[in-house]
Amino acid sequence: MASNEIPPRHPFLENDSALNDFVERWTLGSLPKSSWTHGAHVGVAAYFAFDHSEEATFSLMKAGILHFNSCVGTPNTEDSGYHETLTRFWSGTISSFLRAGFASRFEAVRETVRLFGEDRDRHKLFYSFDVVRDRKARREWVEPDKTPFPGFSPASWRVTPTTSV
């Protein structure tokens, strides 16, 4: 596969219409649970980050994930569902990446998914512990302990633990 090709498992990247339909179905909570993959998380975050600030992208993603999980029966608990640290991490990472500027939302989403859509373990560059399974990190933002995020300052964001977990 050429470096600019999107893996075929992301049908929401076929065209603008498919992307908009995907985001709308996710927002409404009518997207099949099986379609909500890591690549889909990345794509939706890029969709919002294209024309929103880091904090607004995070807020949209947090509210959307909590709502979607509720709609598809995924409990938001200390051990499953919404994850505060990973949502902030990816919202900031994607927002920082999109600062490079893209001609269109669709181009921005395609390139972001190409770069990060299969990179489920990127957080390991910044955390020395298992942030995915850490209950505190699931409930509230936990600063990276290994290396800081370049060009990304979530510490300036209003940090409040989620009450839905």
pLDDT tens sequence across 21-34: 999 999 999 999 99
The Cα–Cα gap between 24 and 154 comes to: 27
What does the pLDDT look like over 59-82, one tens digit per residue?
A: 999 999 999 999 999 999 999 999
Predicted structure pTM score: 0.85
Output 8 or 70, whichever has higher pLDDT: 70
* Angle subtended by helix axes 16-28 and 38-49, to nearest 10: 100
What does the pLDDT look like over 110-127, one tens digit per residue?
A: 999 999 999 999 999 999
The Cα–Cα gap between 120 and 97 comes to: 16
DSSP character at residue 20: H
Output 25 or 163, whichever has higher pLDDT: 25
Nearest to 43 by CA among 5, 90, 100: 90
Residues 47 and 91: beta-carbon distance below 8 Å: no
